[in-house]
Structure 1
Amino acid sequence: MMEPVGGALVAPAADKNNSTLGVVRSVGERGANKVKVYWVKDDDVRWHNLSEIRSALRVGHQVLHKPAYRAQRSLGWGVVRSTREIAGNDQVLVEFPEKDKRVWLPWQRLMMIRGVKHAFFTGKLGDGDAAERQRLRILAWAIRLWNENTGALASFDIDPLPHQIHLVHHILASGQYNWLIADDVGLGKTIEVGLLLSALRQRGEARRVLLVTPAGLTRQWQEEMSGKFGLNEFLVYGDDFTVNDPRHWKMFDNVVGSMDRLKQDEHLDSLMQAEPWDLIIVDEAHRFTRRQYGNKLDASQRYEMLQKLRRRTESMLLLTATPHQGKEDSFTALLELLQPERREELNTLSINPEIIGEMVIRNYKADVTDMDGNFIFFGKTVTQINIPSSEAFQNFDNMLRDYLKKGYAAESALNSNKGRAIGFVMAVYRKLASSSVAAIHNALVKRRERLQGRLKEEDGDDEDGRYQGEVEERAVYKTEATPFFEGEEALLEDLIDEAHYLKGVDSKIDAFMKSIVDVIVASNIKEKVLVFAEYRSTQSWIEQALKSRFGESSAVLIHGGMSMDERRSAIDSFEDASGAQFLVSTEAGGEGINLQHQCHIMVNYDLPWNPMRLVQRMGRLYRYGQEKRVIVFNMHQSASADDQIINILYQRLDKVAEDMANVEKHEYNEALKDDVLGELADLIDIEEVLISASNETIARTVERVDEALERARNASSKQHELFQHAASFDGKELDGVVSISAAHLQAFVEGMCRILGIEILEKTHKGLVWQLRFSDEVKEATGVSRSRWGVVFDRMLATRRKDLLPITTDNWFFQYLLSTAADYEFGGVAAVSGQLGSDWLLTAVARWQTDRGRRARQELALIGVENGKAILNPKWVPSWLCQPLYDDQLNLPDKAQAKQAFELAQDKVESFLVEKSSKALLPDEAQWLAGAGRAV
């Protein structure tokens, strides 16, 4: 028969009613199968054979699991939920709240313990160092739960901002993970995902995660998850691994996949046979479109892929800074992916906009702050550089417009696919001419070579819209080998000659070098400068000018023809203090590349016809982590009719955004203007207006621009009204939550060192680096042989000092301290203290579950009781947790008052459980961790 542990609750074997209770004192001292029992009623100790006793545990008793072998881990502190007898053996069903499991166990492995309620009802509150141990116990739980609910204390090399912590807490507290994260450009959606995954991992969730991204961002997502958050398991499908047999998907639990690879039938069919995913995350979700025409739905291949994948997961997270784009049907389609069962309800979104509060989170640059409440965006200054025009340039522009008119006339006359192709080429030529004389010269030379049969076919096509300029430039090289109109070759010859001459006297490149680059370098010879251009030919022209002046290593490029490794190398060179001073990028660098740490100056060598791409360009610098005001130079050459219209567009766009920023807040708000500008740019389709303006006067085209802007203004207003119902950062939402600061971490480690006999030898680096000496007991408990260890409380220092242990929840030393303090046998379950801010303080973990019984949320509830009133998380608690307690020989409070205080606290926790419940969150039981009374 199995021997019981010391502290097991027993009764005589013949006593089926448990009328006589005893507690096991020791086992085996008088031989095998002998046990010493203290009989409570008789106040007597007697030895018994094991066959003479049985379990006396009943429902509601609190127990501590004691494993049979030292190598086994205890299941911890539990509550008896049921008992049974199997083949003559008593067994006990124990719920272990901390581990969220119920297990049938032999009673012999369970030690009877007294919890908080027992201490308060009997007046048996601890003394000595019980108060200090209780403080550390509460801190350990506060740290654990703060990280579980925000991911903010895991190992990563960034300091999360309040809006990011709030977002993760909001999602986790909702009880379901189907959300659209629509934060403004530059607010750190990647960081929010990393925090969320870190929190879910601590909860034991998100074992299988699929990340769907644009092709150009797969490696970046992999690198950021690994580099920033230590999530090294993510592999890129098609690069790091392939799957030839669908059964092999089970070998890959964390996958990054390109949306355009996964949408292909052979890949999607294989993926649909994989095991279900715990979470699917979709970046740039606005690329997954479905439009509605009457009763007909027209879904893109990408959208259809997500519809299918939705069946393979319970949770889907969509990310996009531009979720609406003035197309409510597409926006509704995204929401339908999150909660397909609400399709009919979502169709009433226009009259029930509050729906999105349960599905969409949106934060704006204008609202976010750092931990101290300071706004983190320092604004930007945009300066227009006007380029002087020459008679030669004006002559070239007139000749080009004559060529374009003949091309558009040919398009109209043909009215066929060939006609549409001509129209496309004419539109791209206009864009190239607005970009640089080098770009239009190159395109015209290619056109002549095509007509003369001398141009070789170029392979490759990029479906990624981020590279639109490069795609267009490459496409016009593949034009028909027959003239668009009669006399085209002669016109081409004259245009090419004029363009070649203009390259030699290019006033735009001259203004770029003299009016911008020379001025910047004169102010700071090492200043980094980011330059954007729409087309590869323009990019090469800029690169040539910079290298001629500053040397071969002065400039690096980013464009769509580069591999991720090549792009990464270019960025590394640019960010290195001794590396390249200039980074010249096409639209391939307009999204997904973050350069804010080393650069705050940007030059837009050309202005894109799509205003959203300009916003995305600025988002590379104007984002979280930028510590300077962003300086933007926009180059404008007024001699071209198209340039005049584009310039008017941006001036009007800026004015509309400024007006709306005044109206929204009744006073001008620069940060809000940036938010509005991004919304307007997302909503306006100006390119169509410009393309159709070839045969109109400038005045009429400007009218059409104004009409388009007015439509965008109206759509933006409606969108803003809609998104007012989305969840967003609200500091008050965390008012009732015990948030953990660096001061709490330091107070906890210092207190645990004092209790465990760990010597703090010195504190350096403004108290952020500590040198410790472990006691022999701690070395044995942790399994390390060294006595001397260094710990660091700062993430940035931790990345540079690999010899130090970072105080994060992923670190073995910190985990040891947390588990030790939270253990029942550490003590401090009940205490008396002279340093409480209320008469009583009771601490519980409040828990909620889903309708399927899965734990969905747990929060620390500290209840202060004063003058017969219970207060949840009183304001004095956060600072109290940081102060060591030294209480001894204190007078105990009245037992009747203690009982009343506990009952008031119990009612408060019940109210808290009800208050935070919802359709997705059902109340579960609260676990009482600790209780203290103020000494009298």
Structure 2
Amino acid sequence: MHPELGEGVIIGVGPTGFARVFFRSLGERQVPTDALQQVESWPDRVISGLRPVTPDALERLWLAVEAVELPLLESVATLTAAKVDLLPHQVVLVHRVANAQPRRFLIADEVGLGKTIETALILRELAFRGELRRALVIVPAGLVDNWQQELNQVFDLNFEVFGSEGDVTDRKSNAFVRHNRLIVSIDTLKKRNRVRRLLEAPPWDLVVFDEAHHLSAYRNGRKVRKTENFKLAEALRNRCRDLLLLSATPHQGDHFRFWMLIRLLNPTLFEDEKDMVENRHRLNAVVIRRTKAEACAADGSPLFARRVVYTQGFTLSAPERAFYEALLDYLYEGYKLAAKQGKKGRALGFVMTVFQKIAASSFAAVKATLKRRLLMLTIQEAIERDELLDVEGRDRVLQEARALIQDMHGLPDDAVGRAQVDQFLAEARVQLLKKRGEVMAFTSATESYDTTETVAAAGEESVATMVAVALPWERQRIRDLLQKIPCETETKTAVLLNALKQLWHINPSEKVIVFATYLGSIEALKDAIERAFPDKGVEVLKGGDHGAKLAAQRRFRRQDGPQLLLCTAAGREGINLQFASILFNYDLPWNPMDLEQRIGRIHRYGQVHTAQVYNLVATDTIEGRIFLLLEEKLQGIAKTLGKIDEQGQVAEDFRAQVLGQLGSHLSYDRLYQEAILDPSLERSRQELEVALANANLAREVVFELFQDLEKFNLGQYKSIDDEGYGMRRLVAFAQRAAHVDGGEFRQLEEGNYELLQPGREKLLFTTDRGKALQRDDLNLIGLEHPVIKAWLDKYSSLSPKQRALIGNVDGNSEAIGLITVWQVTAQGKDGQIIQRIVRLGIRADGKRSPYLERLAEDISRFHPSRLETRLALDMVANLINGRAAELLHRELVYSGLLSERSSYSSRLLACLVVEP
């Protein structure tokens, strides 16, 4: 027994004071001999508790065996309590990966097919098997929260976040040693001192890299340049047992880069990229790719309904046009100054970029942000004057700040109002002082993924407070801009209201979703829609934790709930809205893949109607013209290649493939920024043409390379589908466990159950995933549900004294001997751990008995023995410690579980002495 690692078996003792020990949960380890304490063997403890069968003792023993065997079933992926759509292609992938040796794969499913869910299911299955103690999930900074929510709140996997305030850090000790399940952003991790600590920590059972196409290595002539991301993956490759790379676009049109990515998984699979192209069928060993066209429901029906995307163009009014031109001048000056300042100008360039994005969203949003920035610039000037001891100037500027606060918050000019103004002023001053040192840190943190809509939304508040970088005379520039903001309802808002009026005239109960990136736009829209349609109800889904987003989703979904949902960028991920079929994009994110993610909220599995998407585009703005230009070029390529569907739209799979590749050939931020400096869009047009041509060429290269990859078909799913056998066993386990606890797990109707426990509230359960997804009060029966997991933990740790019974089977006097049930943990030469349940029947003469093994399948048939035991206690001990060990070893070799250089440990789960 080791105080930290638990019970094990000594394999050998070396001269240096260390022993080789096989620990059941960890496999083989070297530990100091003086840290070990000799204990009575588990089988001896089991045998010492041998006693006659009683109904209660037999019930507990049955539960103890099931508690260990249920998580090892082939169908364990389907026995999840997570309320997610569990699709055939996901079940097949999880089964393949979890049962592979070695587990090193690139999972390259198309966007929308659930790579995060697949990864969570793999982690969950390995954890239940006892094959996952240490796991590291490395993701882009913007996806850390999404992964944490998916793994912890949905799948209950207990991962911690490294590097975030309030979470795990490495300031005082090596966090990679102390914490076994971590999510970390790749930018946080790749710092030199952290890589060193990471490599000093014990090896990981599984490492996952999300968005793995960022692990890049380039060749220039004979030189190979490896990015820091690639070097990190290369260093970790030999510090983990299993490795998963995730990417919907793993091949960026460069065979060398892709070959280097494959080498991370298997360095000997191909000699070079030429060998990879010539022998592309070998990619099946490490690459799994499923497309939307292949994926289907369990009954073979298509997963995705049709979708149509319309572009609703409009032009700005004269006052809007005047303001927009003035704002372009402001942005032009900002970009020019940022360019002159070089690296120092990066923060100012970031401020201008966010302003440009906000302006493309709504004038209401840009007005609110300009006002907040003007206030912060004013307070900043007051602080600077105070530092120069200019008391008169400071007081004059502070008075301007008070007037701004009074106007922004609509406060009265009385004693109460003035007190509130001073409170707001003090809070803003504190906020500004805190932010002073964060300017460069913020822009640096967004460098790698600054084109994403999520980061753009986070910048709305930041640009207001980022006043350490500013234009000359910026306060006056902003005052002039604010004077020109139109007062009437925005043209874009009027277009939306008119469209909603037409829709609700046709179907008054239609549910509608409107996406807008920024809170300023959302607030103005909510006000306008509630004034125009006071009886419809408006729900807002914005930032916050996943629970808040789910609550908004649930309120919107209710039949009597609001009919319109306003979503910020926070609603783009992790929320399923397929119960609605109409979506308006009030503003358009610069990265078109973000737009695809928005559409994916309604165009997903479970959508029964055609998904209708309406994009609102100001055709006389730079942003609108670039969007239309991109659509025009994409349509042209699609027509040339025959990739147009029957509605004349670009085929969805083609669009996703090209846009997926386009992100690596084009910087959207730079494209839109340069358009300010070149209003004719001549350079933008040329850059788009080149980038789209390269993206399509990359798509063709990928298609050719991947054409020999194994396709998904429903037969693969049916071959591993147990037709509900595993679920029936789990339900039976729950019913018996509830009964032993003095409660009841009773069936209400087909697939629905009610759990009654003394002193606890009633719980409703179902085996129907569809029903569980629709009702919050209905629990899905699954291994990780807290109630069932508590039972599994309780009975898998049943004491050895309760695991040996004496009885008979249906009065059969010929069946005399032992029935033993063993949990075997084998470790291969590569560190792979495999667990099996083995049933051995042994006659009194020591020979193996298939008859007794068949009886072992249902030990609940046992009854108390009518005669005194014929098998003495020492004879039982000799059979288990001697003959049973020989038979077990022979069975493991025969079944192929043991190979050269593999080792194993066995644990006696149950012993039944069969008497007349």
Q: CA deviation at 1:646?
A: 1.8
Does the 8 A contact of 1:278 with 1:314 survive in 2? yes
Does the 8 A contact of 1:556 with 1:584 survive in 2? yes
3-state DSSP class of the match of 1:314?
Answer: strand
Q: C-alpha distance in 2, partners of 1:672/1:921?
A: 47
3-state DSSP class of the match of 1:607?
Answer: coil
3-state DSSP class of the match of 2:182?
Answer: strand
Does the 8 A contact of 2:209 with 2:244 survive in 1? yes
Q: Kindly tell me: are residues 645 and 224 of structure 1, through their superposed partners in 2, closer, same or farther at Cα, counting changes over 3 Å? A: closer
Q: CA deviation at 1:640?
A: 2.5
Q: Kindly tell me: are residues 351 and 515 of structure 1, through their superposed partners in 2, closer, same or farther at Cα, counting changes over 3 Å? A: same
For 1:59, the equivalent position in structure 2 comes to none
What are the Cα deviations for residues 341-386 of structure 1, in whole angstroms up to 9, with x where unaligned?
A: 6685468544543443222222122221111111121132212222
Q: C-alpha distance in 1, partners of 2:837/2:713?
A: 18
Q: C-alpha distance in 1, partners of 2:265/2:170?
A: 28
Aligned counterparts, 1:447-846, within 5 A: 459=436, 461=442, 463=446, 464-465=449-450, 466=452, 467-470=454-457, 474=462, 479-482=469-472, 497=483, 499-501=484-486, 503-516=487-500, 519-520=503-504, 523-525=507-509, 527-533=511-517, 535=518, 537-546=520-529, 554-556=538-540, 558=542, 564-565=544-545, 568-577=547-556, 583-590=565-572, 592-596=573-577, 599-654=580-635, 656-657=637-638, 662=643, 672-673=653-654, 675-676=656-657, 678-679=659-660, 681-682=662-663, 685=666, 687=668, 688-689=670-671, 691-692=673-674, 694-695=677-678, 697=680, 701-702=684-685, 704-733=687-716, 737=720, 739-742=721-724, 745-746=727-728, 764-766=748-750, 768-769=752-753, 792-795=766-769, 796=771
* Number of aligned positions between the proteins: 729
Q: Kindly tell me: are residues 244 and 386 of structure 1, through their superposed partners in 2, closer, same or farther at Cα, counting changes over 3 Å? A: closer
Aligned counterparts, 1:44-63, within 5 A: none
Q: Kindly tell me: are residues 162 and 235 of structure 1, through their superposed partners in 2, closer, same or farther at Cα, counting changes over 3 Å? A: same
1:364 maps to 2:338: no
For 2:130, the equivalent position in structure 1 comes to 204
Does the 8 A contact of 2:662 with 2:692 survive in 1? no
Q: CA deviation at 1:287?
A: 4.2
- Matching residue within 71, 86, 100 for 1:160: 86
- Matching residue within 161, 172, 175 for 2:101: 175
What are the Cα deviations for residues 121-169 of structure 1, in whole angstroms up to 9, with x where unaligned?
A: xxxxxxxxxxxxxxx9xx9999959834652224433452110011112
Please tell me the residue identity of whatever aligns with 2:298: M
Please tell me the residue identity of whatever aligns with 2:73: N
Q: Kindly tell me: are residues 848 and 589 of structure 1, through their superposed partners in 2, closer, same or farther at Cα, counting changes over 3 Å? A: same
Q: Kindly tell me: are residues 211 and 814 of structure 1, through their superposed partners in 2, closer, same or farther at Cα, counting changes over 3 Å? A: closer
Q: Kindly tell me: are residues 913 and 649 of structure 1, through their superposed partners in 2, closer, same or farther at Cα, counting changes over 3 Å? A: farther
1:151 maps to 2:98: no
Does the 8 A contact of 1:183 with 1:189 survive in 2? yes
For 2:385, the equivalent position in structure 1 comes to none
Does the 8 A contact of 1:282 with 1:317 survive in 2? yes
Q: C-alpha distance in 2, partners of 1:496/1:518?
A: 34
Q: Kindly tell me: are residues 612 and 291 of structure 1, through their superposed partners in 2, closer, same or farther at Cα, counting changes over 3 Å? A: farther
Does the 8 A contact of 1:183 with 1:321 survive in 2? yes
Q: C-alpha distance in 1, partners of 2:366/2:759?
A: 70
Q: Kindly tell me: are residues 302 and 627 of structure 1, through their superposed partners in 2, closer, same or farther at Cα, counting changes over 3 Å? A: farther
Q: CA deviation at 1:325?
A: 3.8
Q: CA deviation at 1:621?
A: 3.4
1:255 maps to 2:182: yes
Does the 8 A contact of 2:79 with 2:781 survive in 1? no
TM-score normalised by the chain length of structure 1: 0.61
Q: Which has the higher contact order (CA 8 A, sep 6+)?
A: 2
For 1:123, the equivalent position in structure 2 comes to none
Q: C-alpha distance in 2, partners of 1:282/1:826?
A: 52
Aligned counterparts, 1:400-439, within 5 A: 431-438=357-364
What are the Cα deviations for residues 268-298 of structure 1, in whole angstroms up to 9, with x where unaligned?
A: 4444433221112233334444444444454
For 1:335, the equivalent position in structure 2 comes to 262
Q: C-alpha distance in 2, partners of 1:404/1:333?
A: 41
TM-score normalised by the chain length of structure 2: 0.62
Does the 8 A contact of 2:88 with 2:717 survive in 1? no
Q: CA deviation at 1:645?
A: 3.4
Q: CA deviation at 1:803?
A: 9.4
Please tell me the residue identity of whatever aligns with 1:716: R
**If you compute each CA radius of gyration, which structure gives the higher value, 1 or 2?**
1
Does the 8 A contact of 1:600 with 1:621 survive in 2? yes
Return 618-627 or 185-194, whichever deviates more.
618-627
For 2:884, the equivalent position in structure 1 comes to none
Does the 8 A contact of 1:384 with 1:636 survive in 2? yes
Q: CA deviation at 1:206?
A: 0.8
3-state DSSP class of the match of 1:636?
Answer: strand
Q: Kindly tell me: are residues 761 and 685 of structure 1, through their superposed partners in 2, closer, same or farther at Cα, counting changes over 3 Å? A: closer
Please tell me the residue identity of whatever aligns with 1:606: D
Gaps of 5+ in 1: 1-74, 76-94, 112-135, 774-783, 830-844, 861-880, 882-908, 925-936
Q: CA deviation at 1:175?
A: 0.9
Does the 8 A contact of 2:71 with 2:129 survive in 1? no
3-state DSSP class of the match of 1:609?
Answer: coil
Please tell me the residue identity of whatever aligns with 1:161: L
Q: C-alpha distance in 1, partners of 2:170/2:334?
A: 49
Q: Kindly tell me: are residues 569 and 264 of structure 1, through their superposed partners in 2, closer, same or farther at Cα, counting changes over 3 Å? A: farther
1:278 maps to 2:205: yes
Please tell me the residue identity of whatever aligns with 2:548: S
Aligned counterparts, 1:890-905, within 5 A: none
For 1:836, the equivalent position in structure 2 comes to none
Gaps of 5+ in 2: 1-7, 9-21, 29-38, 48-61, 383-431, 810-822, 839-856, 858-890, 905-916
For 2:847, the equivalent position in structure 1 comes to none
Does the 8 A contact of 1:377 with 1:623 survive in 2? yes
- The structure carrying a bigger helix percent of its residues is 2
Q: C-alpha distance in 2, partners of 1:394/1:785?
A: 68
Q: C-alpha distance in 2, partners of 1:730/1:536?
A: 44
For 2:247, the equivalent position in structure 1 comes to 320
Please tell me the residue identity of whatever aligns with 2:601: R
Return 188-197 or 316-325, whichever deviates more.
316-325
Q: C-alpha distance in 2, partners of 1:815/1:489?
A: 67
Taking only aligned residues, the RMSD between alpha carbons, in angstroms, comes to 6.3
Q: C-alpha distance in 2, partners of 1:391/1:240?
A: 51
Please tell me the residue identity of whatever aligns with 2:184: G
Q: C-alpha distance in 2, partners of 1:817/1:421?
A: 58
Does the 8 A contact of 1:210 with 1:254 survive in 2? yes
Q: C-alpha distance in 2, partners of 1:104/1:308?
A: 42
Q: C-alpha distance in 2, partners of 1:226/1:854?
A: 25
Q: C-alpha distance in 2, partners of 1:107/1:594?
A: 50
Percent of aligned positions that are identical:
26
Q: CA deviation at 1:199?
A: 2.0
Q: CA deviation at 1:671?
A: 5.3
Q: Kindly tell me: are residues 514 and 343 of structure 1, through their superposed partners in 2, closer, same or farther at Cα, counting changes over 3 Å? A: same
Please tell me the residue identity of whatever aligns with 2:496: F
Q: Kindly tell me: are residues 483 and 447 of structure 1, through their superposed partners in 2, closer, same or farther at Cα, counting changes over 3 Å? A: farther
Q: CA deviation at 1:760?
A: 12
Q: C-alpha distance in 1, partners of 2:582/2:470?
A: 42
3-state DSSP class of the match of 2:515?
Answer: strand
